[in-house]
Structure 1
Amino acid sequence: MIHIFDGAEINRRPALRDDMFRDRATQFVERNGWNINVDASGREIDQYDPLGPTYIVSADGDRHLGSLRLLPTTGRTMLAEIFPDIAPPNMARPGWVECTRYCIAPGAPRHVSAALFLATLELGLQRGWHGSLGVYDLRMMRIYARLGTPGRMLGQRGTGRDAICVGEWRFLPHLVDVLARRAGDERIMRAA
């Protein structure tokens, strides 16, 4: 099931929230080898989580399957503060969100990525957003292409496997059908 949590709403599901943060630690620190902080409970929580982001979470009960985080580009963002060298000059755009901390839990069903992107697109269309900007590693390009949402690369730092990129995805209604074919039973977005 897909859940949408705005700001502190995620605290109403503490077991799911903590499972999400632990899976982020597993993905970003253990699998990707990033040098980022993990708390004593094994959770990866960064300086952008307290800013009241919107989380889109795929879950089976309180088991986290996958998630991503959205912040308005007109406020504090990872792209502006951590990656300004690859950020587009006009990145603070009303009606645009930054998408970061895309995370898939170990053993999650294959359709979870499509369901997360579909929910993001549907939410964006419902809220009148224009699109998203995202920071990702170059390896993600094949996943985006497989989902039918390759986006447009705006900048890149480094080369090869460790390259960090910034991309732009527009929220276009025709993409709903593209993603729905890959999302399976999680086609309908459900609120928390």
Structure 2
Amino acid sequence: MIIIVDSLNVHEYPDLLIEMHRLRARVFSGRLGWDVEVVNGMERDTFDDLDPAHVISVNDDGRVVGCMRLLQTTGPHMLSDVFSCLLDGEPPLRSARIWEATRFCVDMGLPGRGTARNSISYITSEVMIGAFEYGMAAGISDAVAVIDPVMNRVMKRSGNAPYGYLGSPSPMGKVTALAALMDCSEERVAQIRNFSGINHDVFKASTPEEIRK
């Protein structure tokens, strides 16, 4: 199930956010070896202080198994402030209707990569569906994300192919980074649902009490 935690309800989900930041630490620092700040087992950065919306996937046991961060492009965001080299000198996108998707990760301890409910592929699709459906409801027209070629291939295979790219691919550490564009549309969501076989409402819980049931 997907829980959206934003500035309106963040006070209701302190434990969920702690679990999310711990998952990010395990993935980005522990598994991928990124140069990120980890304090008390949690990965956070300055963009977490700008009231983003967090798309959080929780399994039937209440465990955080996936997440993504959404942030408006009208203010500071990673493409403009960290990855501006990808833009070939062009100004970054600035629009209340274009949001940036970052810090996407899935618990790699999940069993298998198929489309079963507890698989990595399922959680990936569930987070994407939750993000795009939330985006459409919030009036977002498009999303931009900095991805690598592996993620680009995953997105193309799963019905979530970018419709375009900004600037040029650029080496970032051990990988090449791309700034990808995706529309928030019913068609895109339908393609992801068709690939994953997820036909139900992914937003099942709205309160901390429901999560713990």
Aligned to 2:136: 125
How big is each residue's C-alpha offset from its partner over 1:16-72, in whole Å with a ceiling of 9 and x where there is no partner?
211111111111112111111100x21001100011100111002541110000011
Q: 2:46 is paired with a residue of what secondary structure?
A: coil
Task: Map residues 70-109 of structure 1 onto 2, 5 A cutoff.
Answer: 70-87=70-87, 89-108=91-110, 109=119
Q: 1:7 is paired with a residue of what secondary structure?
A: coil
Is the 8 Å Cα contact of residues 126 and 202 (structure 2) preserved in structure 1? no
Quick check: 1:165 aligned with 2:178?
yes
Gaps of 5+ in 1: none
Aligned to 2:116: none
Quick check: 1:140 aligned with 2:151?
yes
Is the 8 Å Cα contact of residues 86 and 157 (structure 1) preserved in structure 2? yes
Is the 8 Å Cα contact of residues 25 and 38 (structure 2) preserved in structure 1? yes
How big is each residue's C-alpha offset from its partner over 1:93-130, in whole Å with a ceiling of 9 and x where there is no partner?
23010000001112232301111111111112212211
Gaps of 5+ in 2: 111-118, 208-213
Is the 8 Å Cα contact of residues 180 and 187 (structure 1) preserved in structure 2? no
Match of 1:153 among 147, 151, 165: 165
Quick check: 1:114 aligned with 2:130?
no
Quote the Cα distance in structure 2 between the aligned partners of 1:147 and 1:11.
34
Most deviating of 20-29 and 56-65: 56-65
Aligned to 2:43: 44
TM-score, normalization: structure 1? Answer: 0.90
Q: 2:64 is paired with a residue of what secondary structure?
A: strand
Q: 1:48 is paired with a residue of what secondary structure?
A: helix
Q: 1:66 is paired with a residue of what secondary structure?
A: strand
Quote the Cα distance in structure 2 between the aligned partners of 1:57 and 1:113.
11
Larger Rg, first or second structure (1 or 2): 2
Is the 8 Å Cα contact of residues 57 and 123 (structure 2) preserved in structure 1? yes
Quote the Cα distance in structure 2 between the aligned partners of 1:104 and 1:68.
9
Q: 1:34 is paired with a residue of what secondary structure?
A: coil
Quote the Cα distance in structure 1 between the aligned partners of 2:92 and 2:21.
31
Q: 2:3 is paired with a residue of what secondary structure?
A: strand
Q: 1:139 is paired with a residue of what secondary structure?
A: helix
Question: How many residues are paired up?
Answer: 191
Quote the Cα distance in structure 1 between the aligned partners of 2:172 and 2:92.
24
Q: 2:70 is paired with a residue of what secondary structure?
A: strand
Quote the Cα distance in structure 1 between the aligned partners of 2:109 and 2:198.
17
Quote the Cα distance in structure 2 between the aligned partners of 1:160 and 1:36.
13
Is the 8 Å Cα contact of residues 56 and 67 (structure 1) preserved in structure 2? yes
Quote the Cα distance in structure 1 between the aligned partners of 2:202 and 2:36.
34
Q: 2:43 is paired with a residue of what secondary structure?
A: coil
TM-score, normalization: structure 2? Answer: 0.82
Quote the Cα distance in structure 1 between the aligned partners of 2:72 and 2:55.
14
Q: Please identify runs of 4+ aligned residues in structure 1 that moved more than 6 A.
A: none
